[in-house]
Amino acid sequence: MADPSTPNGPGDRLRAPGGLHAFNRYEIKYLVPRAQVPQVRAELSARMQADANAGANGYGVWSLYYDTRRLRFYWEKIEGLRFRRKLRIRRYGEVGEAPEDTPVSVEIKQRVNRVTQKRRVMLPYRLARDLCDRRVRVEHPGADQAFVDEVLDLVHRLDLRPTAMTGYRREPYVGTGSDLGLRVTLDHRVRGRDRDFDLRAEAENRSIVPPHLAVMEVKANERAPYWVTDMAARCGLQVQRISKYCQSVEAFGKAPRSVFHVALDESADA
């Protein structure tokens, strides 16, 4: 499989060029035991198409999250505020050496009542770090400058700093026909770290979700189709308020484990 982080690789096709990309969706999450993944995969494959941009083995997703010293964004999620948000830099592909102009997305993901909104802009990695780490106003052809300035204001005003990383292998499916706009992903081997925040670093990571569980995310423009919730019910899956960012924060002891934390059971990793 081609490296999604390289020019013209699958990762580039996941990121349409241009300025600001915005998405408004409803999201539902489930935890899928390894033994049930084949059944879920078969049902998804029968009703949806595998995302052609992903390749045979899916693709890696690595995200660096920013928060305040007192973890404001973390607590907004835990307390279930109707309006909450997160700032992150995301890289698609495999970790390892990559040029400074590797494209990454700078994203503000926010929740307004039950709707998830994601706004993002693509920048070379060096400019994304200038913006979020060095707090420098950056400009880039095609980038939405108003959004870039909003990120800079947020970083300055809230004194945001790198807080936690997450990484996983994503297996994506897209809806067709009457399910157009539906997207379902299975995220495997969900890991994280609390240091070495370079998105290219081949640093040590550890599981932040039990290795025998995949995270299934259902994203729909309005509501999830009946067949999705029916499949989940038949498989005994229940909706989870899991956040990969919060899992990473709690796994490394930066905050007490919440009632939503999925405890690791290393013995289950066969």
Name which residue leads in pLDDT, 45 or 8.
Answer: 45
d(CA 156, CA 60): 30
Summarize the confidence of residues 1-16 as an average pLDDT.
Answer: 41
- Given a cut of 70, whether residue 3 has pLDDT beyond it is no
Determine if residue 81 is left, alpha or beta; phi over 0 gives left, psi from -120 to 50 gives alpha, anything else beta: beta
Q: What is the pLDDT of residue 137?
A: 97
HSE at residue 143, side-chain half, CA atoms within 13 A, is 25
Top CATH class of 10-268 equals alpha beta
HSE at residue 178, side-chain half, CA atoms within 13 A, is 6
Q: Give CA angle at 91 (90, 95), nearest 5°.
A: 135
Q: What is the pTM of this model?
A: 0.89
Name which residue leads in pLDDT, 91 or 113.
Answer: 91
Q: Would you say 105 and 151 are in contact if contact means Cβ atoms under 8 Å apart?
A: no
Mind listing the pLDDT tens digit for each residue in 95-143?
878 889 999 999 999 999 889 999 999 999 999 999 999 999 999 999 9
| Helical (H) or strand (E) element with 109 | strand 103-112
Q: What is the pLDDT of residue 19?
A: 65
Domain locations in the chain as residue ranges: 10-268
